[in-house]
Amino acid sequence: MKRVLIILIICFAFLITVQAQTDNPLKKGMLNTVELPNGDVIYDLNGEWEVSVEHYGPWAQFGIISDISEIKQDGASFVGVTLLGSPRSPKGSEKLRGELHKIGFKKVHTITGAGPVDLKGEILNNGDKLILDDGTKIRLTYTRKK
């Protein structure tokens, strides 16, 4: 009986640990977060961002491009537009679009001269840095302007 009780306690502790690891690490009131009407807390990406676009692999010929973008977020959806502009991306053109969920990006893509490119991404430094990459040709780093 004692052995069964110990096993049950260990199993219970394991389940609590697993649940804690899957819970949303973002809490209401944390810096760079917003609470959605359903109560979920997600990152707030609104604002100006310094952007570094690194082309590699088959797109290496395009090099590294710097830009400033403004991200506007409505609920979990967001859009980023360029504030500087270039011959390939006029000022005000959409460069980023996506949707957030509790632990980061649900979906995100960048707009290139070749069309939209789906990305995978991470949100780092308490929401002040975004690393986005398609895995074959383009990596974007967004750093929030202070």
Q: Tell me the per-residue pLDDT of 94-105, one tens digit each, with 9 for 90 and over.
A: 999 999 998 899
The answer to whether 83 and 94 are in contact (CB under 8 A) is no
pLDDT for 89 equals 82
pLDDT for 83 equals 95
- What digits encode the pLDDT tens for the residues 56-74? 999 999 999 999 999 999 9
Q: Give the strand pairing for 47-55 and 138-144.
A: antiparallel
What is the rounded CA–CA span in Å between residue 112 and residue 54?
12
**Six token digits for residue 64:** 């590294």
Q: Does 125 have pLDDT greater than 90?
A: yes
Q: Does 27 have pLDDT greater than 50?
A: yes
For residue 81, the SS3 value is strand
- Which amino acid, residue 63? G
Average pLDDT over residues 85-90: 79
What is the rounded CA–CA span in Å between residue 45 and residue 92?
17
pTM of the model: 0.82
Biggest distance spanned by C-alpha atoms of the chain:
76
The region of weakest confidence among 10-19, 44-53, 82-91, 124-133 is 10-19
What is the rounded CA–CA span in Å between residue 136 and residue 53?
13
The answer to whether 118 and 105 are in contact (CB under 8 A) is no
